[in-house]
Chains A and B, each alone.
Chain A
Amino acid sequence: MPSLQVLLFILLGIGAIATSVATITRRNPVASAMNLVAHFFMLFGLYLTLQAQFVAIVQILVYAGAIMVLVIFVIMLLNLGKEQSLDEKFSPYKVLGMIMASAFVVMMMSMILGKPSGYTQLSDKALANGTTESIGNVLFTQYLFPFEIISLLLLAALIGAVVLANRTAVK
């Protein structure tokens, strides 16, 4: 009988694969996007079983929260509801993509099958690295300066967006 952790890992892994396959096979873009959201939640669970709480939370907040909202907005604005606008055509690029993808799969498989790491348990240090506490610690001590200065970058981008999108500014 496998432990609960392994059981969860297998279940979430199957879920992740199933939802990602569904993402690329659905003809309806909105259904595709929704499957991608489900996929992100599966990944969230996987990260949690690996004790990486911070990455898990960021996964939900950033990807499922912010980026997917953007994707849905784009689908809405482009009015991609009809599937015929996405009719597939054969192109040499697809063959190239397939070759690339299979090369990647071969590489991954040879890495996984060829050289088991032998570790069944993460070291304490590795476990401590994933917590929000340890990330917060370095963020406010060692990386304080970049953490603060990046706010200037965000502000500059915000002002820029206002300048470029402001309706009244047009002559």
Chain B
Amino acid sequence: MGMDFLTSAPIVLISFLSVLCIVVDALTPKSERITFYFAGFSMLAAMLMAAFTMPNTGTAFNGMITTGGVATFFDILFCMGGLLTLFAARPYILRENVEHDEFYTLILYAVAGMMVIAHAHNLLITFIGIEIMSVSFYVLAGYFRSNTKSVESALKYFLLGAFATGFLVFGMSFLYGSTGTLDYTVMANNIQSGMINFPMLLSVGTGLLIVGLSFKMAAFPFHQWVPDVYEGAPTVVTGFMSTAGKAASVSALMPIAYAIIGESGHQVAGLLAIIAAGTMLVGNISAVVQQNIKRMLAYSSVAHAGYILMGFVANNEKGMTGIVYYVTAYLFMQLGAFVLVSLIERNIDKQLELRDYAGLSKKHPVIAALMAFFMFSLAGIPPMAGFFGKYYLFIAAIESGYTWLTIVAVISSMISVYFYIGLVVQMYFKDAEGEGIDAHQPGLAGLTLTVATFFVIALGIMPSTVEQIARSFFK
């Protein structure tokens, strides 16, 4: 048991510190905002612990969680996302005059939930992790309580999220009934050796599980909630949900894909391929017609879930490596874009239309340049990080025989160039109506933008560094 605590240090530490965070909040004066520093410190500590325990692959607590390997890589990613959100959120909620300590606490809890998901080696743990993350997100989405859009977003997210959780749990119970276990390794062994009751139950269970996770990942045809929820939620929270939250759902599907879908062969891969193709096309085509930048980025996040799903269709070493790389790259570019939107936004939901961005390059050249930079990366233009992510995933899909899916992906990428570059054209080649818009001073958000920019460039120039680390997890 003592060893278990050491090998699973990141998750034990962040759970402990999350609980401690409430105590700290209660004992320190409100005006000091100690929770902000404490939450930041907690994520930093968990990130370091994850880096230290990365080589210790194995399981802990009676096979309930995995330690080391890709789980710790995701830990670092989630903590990074949480930290960047924290820095960007402070000036944002100060501007909107709604700073409360609970905001930082909830971000810490969401990160803890994501880490639980990444470490799960048991359907039960996956479920608990998803719930911790989702509950924190529901509240964060409705954080601007006096704003009707924010409340609408939270309520929609909560009701539909609860509905999706029902599918998830139902699927899990079917899998349990069929294989007699919740443990991923035992489950994979039982399926492989044919020790299952009612094969029909297994298929239905897997299907329901995919439905539940598709919802959390915002994949077609369970993506309709995304634009409304992402538009209404506080912009920085949207950035957090659409990056780290999506990465967490991906990390939930990863062991399931490896253990269950890998064994039941091409049927499920075919289903995932259809979902992936639909997600990419619907996401990108819907994004083209959006006038609100948050809705546009929401649809673009749907499309990116489609690209990530291509790696699951391939379901081999290359596919998984591609997923890890893509999720990493996507986190920095999408979060960066949302933080920039939060700088331009006024009074919670003003100045969010695309036409408000006309002539931005003249008044705020730095913000416009950064926005263009993130847009190019999201569109997948080399040498930015987004390009290599797509490259790895497309190669993986082609090599596993899904050429048609790759063709769909390339076509939808080309569609996406239209609206990503459309925003750049607005900023650089259109003149502002009247005065043009003012942006806020970035403050701490500048740190977030610097880090995000750095990683998008670094991942683009040296893609093999992360790719090799990711590949070593799936040997």
Q: Contact: A152 with B64, CB < 8 Å?
A: no
CB distance from A150 to the nearest CB of B (A): 6
**Contacts A146-B64, A169-B145; A153 near B125 (Cβ below 8 A):** no
With contact pairs A144-B62, A146-B125, A164-B142 given, residues A153 and B102 touching in the complex (Cβ less than 8 Å): no
| Given contact pairs A146-B125, A164-B139, A170-B146, A159 touches B106 in the complex (Cβ within 8 A) | yes
State the 9 A-B residue pairs at the shortest beta-carbon distance, nearest first. Answer: A160-B139, A145-B61, A145-B64, A156-B109, A163-B102, A153-B132, A156-B135, A142-B62, A156-B136
Residues of B within 8 A of A156 (CB): 106, 109, 113, 132, 135-136, 139
Contacts of A145 in B (CB 8 A): 60-62, 64-65, 125
B112 CB → nearest A CB, Å: 6
A157 touches B135 (CB 8 A): yes
Instruction: Write out the residue numbers on chain A whose beta carbons fall within 8 Å of the beta carbon of B105.
Output: 159
What chain A residues lie within 8 Å of B145 (beta carbons)? 164, 169-170
Besides the known contacts A152-B109, A159-B139, 5 further A-B residue pairs in the complex with CB atoms under 8 A apart: A144-B61, A156-B136, A159-B22, A171-B98, A171-B146
B138 contact set on A, CB distance < 8 A: 160
B residues near A149, Cβ cutoff 8 Å:
15, 116, 125, 128-129, 132
Report the minimal beta-carbon distance from A82 to chain B, rounded to whole angstroms. Answer: 29
What is the 8 Å Cβ interface bit string for chain B, positions 92-133, against chain A (1 contact, 0 not)?
Answer: 000001101011011001001100100000101100110110
A26 CA to B19 CA, complexed, in Å? 46
* 24 residue pairs from A and B, CB less than 8 Å apart: A142-B62, A143-B62, A144-B61, A145-B60, A145-B62, A145-B65, A146-B64, A148-B15, A149-B128, A150-B128, A152-B19, A152-B132, A153-B131, A155-B22, A155-B109, A156-B132, A156-B136, A159-B139, A160-B138, A163-B100, A163-B102, A163-B139, A164-B139, A169-B98
Evaluate contact between B102 and A162: CB separation under 8 angstroms. Answer: yes
What are the residues of chain B within 8 A of A169 when measuring CB–CB?
Answer: 98, 100, 145
> Min CB distance, A41 to chain B, in Å?
28
Complex interface: chain B residues within 8 A of A150 (CB): 128
Q: How many inter-chain contacts with C-beta < 8 Å in the A-B complex?
A: 84
Contact bitstring A40-77, B, C-beta under 8 A = 1, else 0: 00000000000000000000000000000000000000
Does A141 reach chain B (CB closer than 8 Å)? yes
Cα distance A157–B138 in the bound complex, in angstroms? 10
Give residues in B with beta carbon < 8 Å to A.
Answer: 15, 18-19, 22, 60-62, 64-65, 97-98, 100, 102-103, 105-106, 109, 112-113, 116, 122, 124-125, 128-129, 131-132, 135-136, 138-139, 142-143, 145-146, 154
Most chain A beta carbons < 10 A, residue from B129, B139, B143? B139
Residues from chain B with a CB closer than 8 A to the CB of A152 are 15, 18-19, 109, 112-113, 116, 132
Instruction: Collect the chain B residues with CB atoms within 8 Å of residue A144's CB.
Output: 61-62, 64
Q: How far is the CA of A144 from the CA of B60 in the complex (A)?
A: 11
Contacts of A166 in B (CB 8 A): 100
CA distance A152 to B60 in the complex (A): 19
Q: Please, how many angstroms separate the alpha-carbon atoms of A149 and B19 in the complex?
A: 11
A residues 105-159 near B (Cβ < 8 Å) are 141-146, 148-153, 155-157, 159
Residues of B within 8 A of A146 (CB): 64, 122, 124-125, 128
Range of interface residues on A (Cβ < 8 Å): 20 to 34
Q: Is the CB of A153 within 8 A of B98?
A: no
Question: Which residues of chain A come closer than 8 Å to B64, judged between CB atoms?
Answer: 143-146
Report the Cα distance A160→B98, complex, angstroms.
15
Q: Please, which residue of chain A has its CB at the minimum distance from the CB of B60? A: A145
What is the minimal beta-carbon distance from B18 to any residue of chain A, in angstroms? Answer: 6
> In the complex, which residues of chain A have a beta carbon less than 8 angstroms from the beta carbon of B22?
155, 159
Q: How far is the CA of A169 from the CA of B61 in the complex (A)?
A: 41
**Bound Cα distance from A152 to B128, whole angstroms:** 9
Bound-state Cα–Cα, A23 to B136, Å:
37
In angstroms, Cα B143 to Cα A62, docked, is: 31
Contact residues in A for B128 (Cβ distance below 8 Å): 146, 149-150, 153
Q: How far is the CA of A162 from the CA of B97 in the complex (A)?
A: 18
Indicate whether A160 sits within 8 Å of B116 (C-beta atoms), given known contacts A146-B124, A146-B128, A171-B98.
no
Within 8 Å CB of B139, what residues of A?
156, 159-160, 163-164
* Contact of A160 with B100 in the complex, beta carbons under 8 Å: no
On whether the beta carbons of A163 and B143 are closer than 8 Å, the reply is: yes
A155 to B26: give the CA distance in the assembly, Å: 14
B97, chain A: closest CB distance, angstroms: 6
Tell me, rounded to whole Å, the shortest Cβ–Cβ distance linking B36 to chain A. Answer: 15
* Docked pose: A171 CA to B348 CA in angstroms: 13
Q: How far, in angstroms, from A163 to B104 measured CA to CA in the complex?
A: 12
Q: Which of B15, B62, B124, B125 contacts A141 (CB 8 A)?
A: B62
Chain B residues lying within 8 Å of A142, measured Cβ to Cβ, are 62
Query: A143 — which chain B residues lie within 8 A by C-beta?
Result: 62, 64, 124
**Residue of A144, A159, A162 ringed by the most chain B CB atoms within 10 A:** A159
What residue in chain A is nearest B144 (Cβ atoms)? A171
B129 → chain A closest CB, angstroms: 8
Most chain-A CB neighbours within 10 Å: which of B15, B22, B61, B103?
B61
CB distance from B304 to the nearest CB of A (A): 27
